[in-house]
Structure 1
Amino acid sequence: MELSVNDTPAYVYTGGRPFDRRQAVVVLVHGAGHDHSVWNYQARQLAHHGFSVLAPDLPGHGRSQGAPLPTIEALADWIESLLDAAGVVHAALAGHSMGSLVALQAAAQAPARITKLILLGSVAPMPVAPPLLEAAARTRDSAHAMINQWSYTPASQLGASPVPGVSLTGLNLRLMERQRDGVLANDLAACNAYQGGLEAAGRIRVPCAMLCGERDQMTPRKAVKPLQEALANVPGGARMIVIKGAGHAMMAEAPDAVGDAMRGFLTTT
């Protein structure tokens, strides 16, 4: 569906079901250089199991209009505006990679509106390797190749896929290529510059789960510990869920495991 967010058209995927704000709402926030489609499997699973789903294309991404927003804080403000536009008072937030920083910041600055938080492939701070920053700004194809190499496990690089006949790396390449010029460079710079993650984590007071790919090279498990420890005020502590055999692109490499973990956390915590 399309919503007007801050007077600008924004596309929002609802998982193949009509959006109903009377149900429990989950907002799914995509990562750098991506759009809502990275959540297709999980959005459909949640939408067909009692949740109303909002999986937006962030400003300037996918089918959403406007310029890409330059900071994580600005993106978090936009998520609040999205909730207003959809008439939603309370929602759970889930974010992947850059989207996890957006979800974290949004949950910290709007504590009365956010009911639960799921961070996938998340670390804070989230520094970006200088060669990737430079490639994103100057040679997008080189940046895309780096991201594919670092996001997927060797099996996926060789063609393994949970969906027969689908090349995960090929699909991700097409997804990144269809974004507008400058979007990836903008997003990676926003991740690299954001220094408020640990402080924001200390303000979170709602249940939180952290999903980490067992073979994640971009946000490996050992790097997640500072953020997990900073979530000290989360009821029962931040719950770590390791997605077996998956890399950073866990939603594509292990769609069922990620969807089951998200739904289990949202329904039982």
Structure 2
Amino acid sequence: MLLDVQGAPAYCYTGGKPFDAALPTVVFIHGAQNDHSVWALQSRYLAHHGHGVLAVDLPGHGRSRGPARRSVEDLAEWLMAVLDAAGVRQAALVGHSMGSLIALEASHRASDRVARLAMLGAAFPMKVSDALLSAALDDEEAAIDMVNIFSHSTMAQKPSCPGPGFSVMGGARRLMQRMSRLNPERLFHTDFSACDAYANGEAAAQAVRCPALFIIGSRDMMTPSKATRLLTGAIAHGKVVRVDAGHSMMQEQPDAVLDALTAFLR
């Protein structure tokens, strides 16, 4: 589904069902150098089980046009504009990595519009190493390789993976390479810089009053468990679920992530 948001087309995947704003809405927000497809399994299931789904492509990513936003705050404002364009008064926000910060900031700016808040692979501060920032600026292909190595807990998925024979790491690499081709303006560096600069996470977390969920990959090297402690401490009522996965948990353990989300949304 394409919406006109802040003067540019914004794409939202609706899970294979026509979007119905009268249903409980779940908004999925991807991380750096990604698009809506990282949520394909979870968003499709929820769309076929009683929810209205909007899995967004952030500006400059995937099918959404316009320049990539350079701050988490601007992205949170854009996300609220998406809800306006879709006719949604209130929604559950589900964000991964950079998307978790966007969801958190949106809940701070418009708490009455956020019914539930789920954060996957979240951390605050979400500092990015100088080496990775430099690679994202000067050698994006190297940055893609670095992130994929650190985002996955294994080179090859176990036989129990829902997609036997499918390369989770290879798929993630190809997606990031596609984002580079669609937006040659050093998208990875823009996204990483926004994460690195975001400073309002603690205040935003302390203000959260809606039900909250943290899904943490037990083998996440990008946002390890200790990096989430400030947020989980500030949102004391938040539930914590751990899954046996790295940072790319939606692909490595899609069923475990879906189980946690469906229980939370129920």
Instruction: Please indicate, yes or no, whether the TM-score normalized by the shorter chain is above 0.5.
Output: yes
The within-5 A match list for 1:33-182 is 33-154=33-154, 157-160=155-158, 161-179=161-179, 180-181=183-184, 182=186
Give the one of 187, 197, 202 matched to 2:201.
Answer: 197
Deviation digits for residues 55-96 of structure 1, max 9, x if unmatched? 010000001100000000000000100000000001000100
Quick check: 1:223 aligned with 2:227?
Answer: yes
Does the aligned pair in 1 maintain the 2:121–2:247 contact within 8 Å?
yes
Q: Which residue of 2 aligns with 1:24?
A: 24
- The 1-side partners of 2:214 and 2:171 are apart by 25
- The 2-side partners of 1:200 and 1:170 are apart by 35
Structure 1 segments of 4+ aligned residues over 2 angstroms from their partners:
158-162
Q: Which residue of 2 aligns with 1:251?
A: 250
TM-superposed deviation, 1:159: 4.9
Deviation digits for residues 149-177 of structure 1, max 9, x if unmatched? 100012xx135443012101110111001
- The 1-side partners of 2:87 and 2:175 are apart by 30
Number of aligned residue pairs: 260
- The 2-side partners of 1:139 and 1:107 are apart by 35
- The 1-side partners of 2:207 and 2:131 are apart by 33
Q: Structure 1 residues 158-167 or 53-62, which shifts more?
A: 158-167
- The 1-side partners of 2:75 and 2:227 are apart by 24
List runs of 5+ in structure 1 lacking aligned partners.
none
- The 1-side partners of 2:57 and 2:230 are apart by 29
Deviation digits for residues 111-151 of structure 1, max 9, x if unmatched? 11110000000011100111111101110111011111100
CA RMSD, aligned part only?
0.9
Deviation digits for residues 8-52 of structure 1, max 9, x if unmatched? 101110011110000000000000000000000010111111111
Counterpart of 2:189, as a letter, is: A
- The 2-side partners of 1:90 and 1:10 are apart by 19
List runs of 5+ in structure 2 lacking aligned partners.
none
State the identity %. Answer: 48
- The 1-side partners of 2:157 and 2:169 are apart by 8
- The 1-side partners of 2:219 and 2:41 are apart by 21
Task: Give me the TM-score of the superposition, normalised by structure 1.
Answer: 0.95
- The 1-side partners of 2:110 and 2:12 are apart by 21
Counterpart of 2:263, as a letter, is: G
Instruction: For residue 215 of structure 2, give the secondary structure of its aligned residue in structure 1.
Output: strand
Instruction: For residue 42 of structure 1, give the secondary structure of its aligned residue in structure 2.
Output: helix
- The 1-side partners of 2:57 and 2:260 are apart by 23
Structure 1 residues 141, 91: closer, same or farther in 2, change over 3 A? same
TM-superposed deviation, 1:222: 1.9
Does the aligned pair in 1 maintain the 2:157–2:252 contact within 8 Å?
no
